[in-house]
Amino acid sequence: MPKETFFNLPEEKRQLIEKTAITEFAANGYDKASINTIVNYSGIAKGSFYQYFADKKDLFMHILLSVIAQEKIKYLSPIMRNPGEHNFFDLIKELFISGLKFASENPELEKIGAWIINNTTHPVYEELMSEAGDYSLNFYEIMVKDAMARGEFREGIDVKYISHIFPTLISGTMDYCLKNSKDDNQIGLSGISDEILEKVDLVIEFLKNGIGHK
DSSP one-letter string for the chain: ---HHHHTS-HHHHHHHHHHHHHHHHHHHHHH--HHHHHHHHT--HHHHHHH-SSHHHHHHHIIIIIIHHHHHTT--HHHHSGGGS-HHHHHHHHHHHHHHHHHH-HHHHHHHHHHHT-TTSHHHHHHIIIIIHHHHHHHHHHHHHHHHTT-B-TT--HHHHHHHHHHHHHHHHHHHHHTTTTTT-EETTEE-HHHHHHHHHHHHHHHHHHB--
On whether both 8 and 45 belong to a single domain, the answer is: yes
Structural domain of 195: 74-211
pLDDT of residue 133: 59
Low-confidence ranges of the chain (pLDDT < 70): 77-80, 82-84, 133-137, 181-192, 211-214
Q: What is the pTM of this model?
A: 0.79
My answer on whether 133 and 33 are in the same domain is: no
Which one of 35, 53, 70 terminates a domain?
70
Query: What pLDDT does 189 receive?
Result: 43
**Looking at the 3D structure of the chain, how many domains does it have?**
2
Report the CATH number at residue 170.
1.10.357.10
Q: Do both 87 and 137 map to the same domain?
A: yes
Same domain, 47 and 140: no
Whether residues 65 and 136 fall in one domain: no
Question: Are 79 and 166 members of one domain?
Answer: yes
For residues 112 and 171, state if they share a domain: yes
Residues 140 and 201 in one domain: yes
Same domain, 140 and 205: yes
Q: Are residues 127 and 206 in the same domain?
A: yes
